[in-house]
Structure 1
Amino acid sequence: MAQVLEFKLPDLGEGLTEAEIVRWLVEVGDVVAIDQPVVEVETAKAMVEVPCPYGGVVTARFGDEGTELPVGAPLLTVAVGSPVEASGDVPVADSGTEDSGSGNVLVGYGTGAPPVRRRRVRPQGLKAAVAVPAVPEGSAPAPVAGPVAVVSPLVRRLARQHDLDLRRLAGSGPDGLILRADVESAIRSAAEAPAPEAVAEPAVSSAFSASAGERVALRGVRGAVADKLSRSRREIPDATCWVDADATELMAARASMNSVAGPGTPKVSVLALLARICTAALARYPELNSTVDQEAREIVRLPQVHLGFAAQTDRGLVVPVVRDAHAGTTESIGAEIARLTEAARTGTLTPAQLTGGTFTLNNYGVFGVDGSTPIINHPEAAMMGVGRIVPKPWVYEGQLAVRQVVQLSLTFDHRVCDGGTAGGFLRYVADCVERPALLLRSL
């Protein structure tokens, strides 16, 4: 006899609790190998291909593309071993691991191996994923007493969203279990039913109605950004200072670096230069490379600089992290920024590449704006903002001249330092922008 093993959405790490199904990579009836990717999901951090730890025949998939599943919810079932017989009991595993599987769910994220519990179910349990009308056409069962036969929290949520009483449904799953297909069938039946005659309502003023607007779900990357920014505003007493700087010499230094570069050598970007300046400034003002342990009421100054940089993508704003930026050169930091930017553009950043930052650099000048008051990327203590670099009138060596000017801003957590420290950091950055030779002292 075959064993039908249930593979559940694994813990994807970094505190993620749910993921959205983007694309199924297998169909029901396909033969899969151990550790073969079976579904592509989008978390609040990244797009991830999830491999199945079992080898066998896919007997059911749970969730359509676009469905959001919590960690631990069933993803699919796989028949492992000999072909399933037409009759007789079939053992079904409750847990997501089995000796015949690999135990791996993602590269870098393993699973434990809890004891496997098994139950005996009727053969029709293998067909549980097939949509079966929950209620015969033209009739509706009376509400049932006692607990409702629903296991999946997604089924309950779907019913709530459509004001559907689960007690009036007859489940098509094993032992009357109400499946998602049952709920969707009931929703379709309700939608196809003739609408009651409309009752004339008195005219009302055209006041704003939230129900009339387009609704966009706050989930995935956008939902994660919303949660993090809200938490930042709620928990961090931030303050912002800013300064205009003459970036003419910085731009000239960049042009000189790129002119002497050999064939095939990547160009030095402005962002790479600013990142190197920031790491030098953090070495002088380590208070800004810290976090706050609110429960212990302690400031934790961090030994490494993991530099995040804001990147706008089709999926929303993401912040890839350059690890150990304090130990890098302008060239090596620039190469890593380019690599992570390409991964952000193609949606292949991993959760590990999007977490663990200690300080963030935000170049909003690429959007054609001069200034901003950045929101700190919680739980960091500061974010550096850079506006566009544009020709402006500037007093240079006592004379009015046209110079390349940029506005720099620093939003900082006022718990970790006072304005003097923040101002000192920002002034050092501005001095390096105006006189890049200052960096030679720290190289």
Structure 2
Amino acid sequence: MAQVLEFKLPDLGEGLTEAEIVRWLVAVGDVVAIDQPVVEVETAKAMVEVPCPYGGVVTARYGEEGTELPVGAPLLTVAVGGTGAPEELTEAAPEAAPKASAEAVSSEYSGNVLVGYGTAGPAARRRRVRHTSPAAAQAPAAPAPAAAAPAPVAAPAVAHEGPVPVISPLVRKLARDRGLDLREVRGSGPEGLILRADVELALAALERPVAAPAPAPASAPASAVAAPAGERVPLRGVRGAVADKLSRSRTEIPDATCWVDADATELMAARAAMNAAGGPKISLLALLARICVHALARFPELNSTVDTAAREIVRLPSVHLGFAAQTPRGLVVPVVKDAGTRTAESLTAEFARLTEAARQGAITPADLTGGTFTLNNYGVFGVDGSTPIINHPEAAMLGVGRIIPKPWVHQGELAVRQVVQLSLTFDHRVCDGGTAGGFLRYVADCVEQPAVLLRTV
């Protein structure tokens, strides 16, 4: 007889507490091998495939594609052992039945409707569907209003005493941020567990405007109370993580920006000479990275972070260089570890590897964390300048605009040269304008005269 084992969403590391189901790789009834990827999920860091530690027949899946689940929530159940014959799966069904409450919990957590998963029959699946559409709420009511479904906010007489059971710390934070007292919320989960849907319904009830004493005209347009029109895009996954980090940066870091135009003609010529000599091609980004590393060695204040709790500036011993990469799922910042120890060839190869992994959605959380300084080449978008937001908790970011022919005074004469605008956005807590200006001027000098780097080679 087969034994049914439950596989839960594992801890994906880097402090991640939830993930969104992007694509199921198996269906109910499929045979899976040990460590076979069964689902593709997106976290706040990256998109990853999750392998199942059991081998057997899939008997249930929990959550639709697009559902967000917390770490530890059930993903699927697998019938292990036996032959996998239909009669064995039928016998295993009673063991899987108690999982229905967990399935409902994971569905309610995301606020989505769960249909068609698990081993229950069609009637049971229909009973689990949660209808929350506005149209259903506006359907003709029964003559006795008191018979309506109970409101999500319970009367004070049934308020919780002691710790309130909540499905996730994220749900508890949602209530706290919106000023909702969870003791006044009636949970619809197993044993009164408060789900995300319960909190959202309670918030909606609190925010619903109180009806005026005078009866509203019968012909009042529905648009008077309708939600604002427009497409709503959830801030979650990579986009949500980026939004949170940028907001935190703007809130915590007193940033300033300085910029300078530089003649990049000699740098472009040096790169062309390197690539003409044979061997792997050297990218312009790699040369700029080498310049950044040497500049940070001269101005270590900018390779640091601020410990606000201890009120200390922490100067970091190694340069882990982040760079902005645009992907179909949004902007990410992969990190080249120990950039100061790499050659131009090594930097070129690592930039290419991380960029391709980011675009394919296969980059790992480890490749997106630990940066100490960011290089932002926004010139690829055809713009000259920018005042970027610092990648928290770093202290600075170097921006590079497009390199284009411009009139320039060279050796006392007007000439057409390849000109680039460089900008430095820095945390004014770690240094003042003199240090920031010195760093940027050194970078510009290296761009204009690459031989300056020979002093430190």
Q: What residue is the counterpart of 1:127 in the other structure? A: 120
Per-residue displacement from partner, 1:340-372 (whole Å, max 9, x unpaired)?
A: 111112111111111111100000001111100
The percent identity for this pair of structures is 77
Question: Match for 1:66: what amino acid?
Answer: G
Q: CA deviation at 1:43?
A: 1.1
Cα 1:233–1:260, aligned 2, differ >3 Å: closer, same or farther?
A: same
Q: What residue is the counterpart of 1:36 in the other structure? A: 36
CA contact (8 A) 2:256 2:427 kept: yes
Per-residue displacement from partner, 1:248-293 (whole Å, max 9, x unpaired)?
A: 111111111111124xx3x211111101100010111111111111
Cα 1:231–1:11, aligned 2, differ >3 Å: closer, same or farther?
A: same
Which residue, 86, 93, 104 being the options, matches 2:91?
86
Q: CA deviation at 1:200?
A: 2.5
Question: Match for 2:267: what amino acid?
Answer: L
Q: What residue is the counterpart of 1:436 in the other structure? A: 450
CA contact (8 A) 2:186 2:194 kept: no
Whole-angstrom distance in 1 between the partners of 2:27 and 2:222: 52
CA contact (8 A) 1:5 1:93 kept: no
Cα 1:19–1:87, aligned 2, differ >3 Å: closer, same or farther?
A: closer
Whole-angstrom distance in 2 between the partners of 1:424 and 1:277: 14
Per-residue displacement from partner, 1:125-170 (whole Å, max 9, x unpaired)?
A: 96399613259xx99996599899x99679x99xx9xxxxx9899x
Question: Match for 1:314: what amino acid?
Answer: P
Question: Match for 1:411: what amino acid?
Answer: T
**1:21-420 correspondence to structure 2 within 5 Å:** 21-82=21-82, 83-84=88-89, 86=91, 90=95, 127=120, 131-134=125-128, 143=150, 199-201=218-220, 211-262=228-279, 265=280, 267-420=281-434
Whole-angstrom distance in 2 between the partners of 1:9 and 1:229: 28
Cα 1:304–1:246, aligned 2, differ >3 Å: closer, same or farther?
A: same
Cα 1:128–1:386, aligned 2, differ >3 Å: closer, same or farther?
A: farther
CA contact (8 A) 1:250 1:436 kept: yes
Cα 1:284–1:204, aligned 2, differ >3 Å: closer, same or farther?
A: same
Q: CA deviation at 1:201?
A: 2.8
Per-residue displacement from partner, 1:218-269 (whole Å, max 9, x unpaired)?
A: 111111111100000011111111111111111111111111124xx3x211
Whole-angstrom distance in 1 between the partners of 2:39 and 2:93: 31
317-326 or 126-135, which moves further after superposition? 126-135
Whole-angstrom distance in 2 between the partners of 1:373 and 1:177: 47
Cα 1:297–1:219, aligned 2, differ >3 Å: closer, same or farther?
A: same
Whole-angstrom distance in 2 between the partners of 1:87 and 1:56: 12
CA contact (8 A) 1:4 1:92 kept: no
SS in 1 for 2:127: coil
Cα 1:55–1:152, aligned 2, differ >3 Å: closer, same or farther?
A: farther
Cα 1:167–1:278, aligned 2, differ >3 Å: closer, same or farther?
A: closer
Whole-angstrom distance in 2 between the partners of 1:141 and 1:167: 16
Whole-angstrom distance in 2 between the partners of 1:366 and 1:351: 25
Q: What residue is the counterpart of 2:17 in the other structure? A: 17
Whole-angstrom distance in 2 between the partners of 1:141 and 1:204: 24
Whole-angstrom distance in 2 between the partners of 1:224 and 1:13: 15
Whole-angstrom distance in 2 between the partners of 1:307 and 1:392: 30
CA contact (8 A) 1:28 1:60 kept: yes
Cα 1:79–1:229, aligned 2, differ >3 Å: closer, same or farther?
A: same
Q: What residue is the counterpart of 2:206 in the other structure? A: none
Per-residue displacement from partner, 1:357-408 (whole Å, max 9, x unpaired)?
A: 1100000001111100111000111100000111111111111111111110
Cα 1:432–1:72, aligned 2, differ >3 Å: closer, same or farther?
A: same
CA contact (8 A) 1:322 1:336 kept: yes
Whole-angstrom distance in 1 between the partners of 2:402 and 2:409: 19
Q: CA deviation at 1:55?
A: 2.0
SS in 1 for 2:272: helix
Structure 2, gaps ≥5 residues long: 83-87, 100-117, 130-140, 176-184, 197-216
Per-residue displacement from partner, 1:85-108 (whole Å, max 9, x unpaired)?
A: 6389638999xxxxxxxxxxxxxx
SS in 2 for 1:211: coil
SS in 1 for 2:44: coil
Q: CA deviation at 1:56?
A: 2.2
Whole-angstrom distance in 2 between the partners of 1:417 and 1:141: 63
Question: Match for 1:279: what amino acid?
Answer: V
Cα 1:177–1:310, aligned 2, differ >3 Å: closer, same or farther?
A: closer
CA contact (8 A) 2:4 2:95 kept: yes
Q: CA deviation at 1:2?
A: 3.6
Q: CA deviation at 1:215?
A: 1.0
**C-alpha RMSD of matched pairs (Å):** 3.8
Bigger helix share:
2
Cα 1:199–1:254, aligned 2, differ >3 Å: closer, same or farther?
A: farther
- Give the total of aligned pairs: 380
Question: Match for 1:406: what amino acid?
Answer: V
Question: Match for 2:233: what amino acid?
Answer: V
Q: What residue is the counterpart of 1:194 in the other structure? A: none
* TM-score calculated relative to the size of structure 2: 0.74
SS in 2 for 1:131: helix
Q: What residue is the counterpart of 1:421 in the other structure? A: 435
Whole-angstrom distance in 1 between the partners of 2:167 and 2:287: 51
